[in-house]
Amino acid sequence: MRDRGLSGAVLADADDVSARYPGAGVPALASLTFAVRAGERVAVLGPNGGGKTTLFRLLTGELPAAGGRLEVPAGRVAIVPQTDRSRLDYPVSALDVALMGAVSRTRWWRRPARADRALARTSLERVGLGDLARVTFGDLSGGQRQRVLVARALVQDAPLLLLDEPFSGLDAPSAERLERLLAELAGEGRGLLMATHDLEQARAADLVLCVNRVQVAFGPPAAALTREEIERTYGAALVPLDDDGPALLPPHHHDHA
C-alpha cells in the first residue's frame, strides 16, 4: 500500500483478498487490495451483486477471507444498516435502538448499565436527536432513523464504521445533515466505508473502492472514477455516457437483481 503520509492509523488492510460462500464454485469477490486509515471516508461503489455486502462481511469477520491477507487493526467494526430495511413495527424508542449498540457489553438478562444508558443519550445528542430520545423509532423520519443508527454505532465505540447506502431515500436537507455528521466522525479519526450506487456520493469521498465481483479500482475519486473504471464497475448496467463524462446510471439500476 502506498503511504499516505499525514493520514491516520491503518484500520483495515487487504492484500489480494478473496471471499467465497460455502458451496459456491467461484469467489463472490476477488483481488481486494486496499487500506482504510483513520479519518478517511471510502465510498464502496458497485452494482447489485457486485460484492459490497460481502466486503462488509469480510471486515466484520462474519465471512473469513478465502485467500489473501486481511488485517483489521481497528478491532471493533460497527455496521450501520439501511434504515428502510430496519424493522419499524417494534415499539422501541430512539434511545432503545441506540442502546442496542451496548448489547455486546451487556448480559441479556441484566438491565443496561447506567454508563451505557448515558452513552446512548450522549450519542443521540451527538447526532442531533437528544430531544427525540423517547420517540418511537418507527415514527421518526428516514433521516432521523439513519442518525439513530449512527448513534447506535457510536455506542459500539467502533473505530471503523460500515454504512450500507446511508443516503438512500433521504431528502436533500437530511442527506446534507448526515453528510456533515459523517465528515465530523471522520474528522475525529474514525474510518468510514459507505456502500453506494451513487456516483456523486462516490466523488465526494476521500477514496473510492469499485467492486464488481473483483476489485475494479481503488484510489482517490479522480483516479478511481474514470469512464473506463465506471464501465468496468457497472458493465451492462450502465446507460450510454454523455461527453461530459460518466454521470448517468439507470434510475432503477439497484432493483434489478
Interacting residues toward ligand ADP by CB under 6 A: 21, 24, 28, 46, 48-54
Q: Are 239 and 233 in contact (CB under 8 A)?
A: no
Q: Do residues 254 and 48 lie in contact, with contact meaning Cβ atoms separated by under 8 Å?
A: yes
Q: How far apart are the first and last CA of the chain?
A: 34
Task: Identify which of residues 51 and 101 has a Cβ nearer to ligand ADP in the complex.
Answer: 51
| Least distance to ligand ADP, CB of residue 139, Å | 29
Q: Which is nearer to ligand ADP, 144 or 201 (CB)?
A: 201
For ligand ADP, the closer of residues 82 and 93 by Cβ is 82
Minimum CB–partner distance for residue 50 and ligand ADP (Å): 4
Residue 226, C-alpha cell as written in the block: 474514470
Q: How far is the CB of 53 from ligand ADP (least distance, A)?
A: 3
User: Residue 96 or residue 229: which is nearer to ligand ADP going by CB?
Assistant: 229
Least separation, in Å, of the C-beta of 218 and ligand ADP?
A: 16
* Measured distance CA(200)–CA(24) in Å, rounded: 34
